[in-house]
Amino acid sequence: MIRALFVCASLLFAAAGAVAQSPAASEPPAPPAQAPAPAPAAPRTWSSMSPQQQQLLHGYQDNWNSLPPERQQALAKGSQRWLSMTPEQKSSAQQRFTQWRAMPPEQRQQLRQRWQQFKSMPPEQQQRVRESFNRFRQMPPERRMQLRRQWRQMTPQQRHSANPHPAPRHYPR
């Protein structure tokens, strides 16, 4: 159970890290290696965006036409998503983005990889991960700290045997 909770926590933390990227200031995550490349998005003109989107993306105005269509689409979609957020959601996203930017590049890369692993899981397994993570988050802080200490003290074999739902073999451990 301990392993499952920590696997869940790390996968969902990866998800939070990936989502925390500011829609206007970051690259979209790379698609998984095994997925076919998406068709190029239709180019979007600067004038086709709302004034609010243009204001949000003003730093891209001068080189908008030189951006790849996929990047334009991602920025436009991200700006629209940002504009639809509540103030609380925006605050939370800004906080996560600040944490993301403070991470060393190696840690960000590891989280991106975990996010891709999570996204490649079947929907039922993703749901189990989310549920385990939510159970972990609902625990009192003292209990979470205790579980973290126990996890750090376990050998890889103990961690493996503690997981009631081991990941498929193609996921790195």
| pLDDT at 14 (0 to 100) | 43
Percent of the chain with pLDDT over 70: 69
The mean pLDDT of the chain is: 78
H runs (alpha helix) in 50-166: 51-56, 69-84, 87-102, 105-120, 123-138, 141-153, 156-162
Torsion of Cα atoms, 62 then 23 then 85 then 11, to 10°: 180
User: CA–CA distance from 105 to each of 30, 32, 54 (Å)?
Assistant: 15, 19, 30
SS3 82: helix
pLDDT in tens, 82-140: 999 999 999 999 999 999 999 999 999 999 999 999 999 999 999 999 999 999 999 99
Cβ atoms of 93 and 81 within 8 Å: the answer is no
**CA neighbor of 114 nearest in space, from 91, 95, 133:** 133
pLDDT score, position 160: 80
Give the pLDDT confidence score for residue 125 in this predicted structure: 93
Q: Which tokens belong to 87?
A: 């103030």
pTM, rounded to two decimals: 0.53
Measured between alpha carbons, how far is 2 from 124 in angstroms, rounded to an integer?
20
Residues in CB range of 100: below 8 A, 6 or more apart: 17, 20, 21, 108
